[in-house]
Amino acid sequence: MSEELKAKFEQASKDVTQLSEAPDAQTKLRLYALYKQASEGNCKGSRPGMMDFIGRAKYDAWKALEGTSQEQAMQMYIDLVEELKANDKK
């Protein structure tokens, strides 16, 4: 994994908190899943129970990225944050 990619990823994770308004729930879920895949790799653990709606949605979003390399996930995360920054109404 290149140090440049890692640095861009870390910067993107900071930049996303600086947006003038929070992304919608679907985008937040995508950001979460990409971040987890980039930082930890494939989804771990068992799927949360039916009553844990948020935990289950997060798990499913992360699980959907299974097989995506950490480098790919980092780049996808960076691209999504860049798109959000470009559309930000500051």
pLDDT digits (tens, 9 = 90+) for 33-81: 999 999 999 999 999 999 999 999 999 999 999 999 999 999 999 999 9
Number of domains in the chain: 1
Give percent above pLDDT 70 in the chain: 99
Distance CA 25, CA 75 (A): 21
Which residues constitute the domain of residue 58?
3-87
The CATH number of whichever domain residue 58 belongs to comes to 1.20.80.10
Categorise residue 41: left if φ over 0, alpha if ψ from -120 to 50, beta otherwise.
Answer: left
Residue 29 has pLDDT above 70, yes or no: yes
Q: Which of 43, 31, 41, 44 is nearest to 71 (CA)?
A: 41
- pLDDT band with cut points at 50, 70 and 90 for residue 89: confident
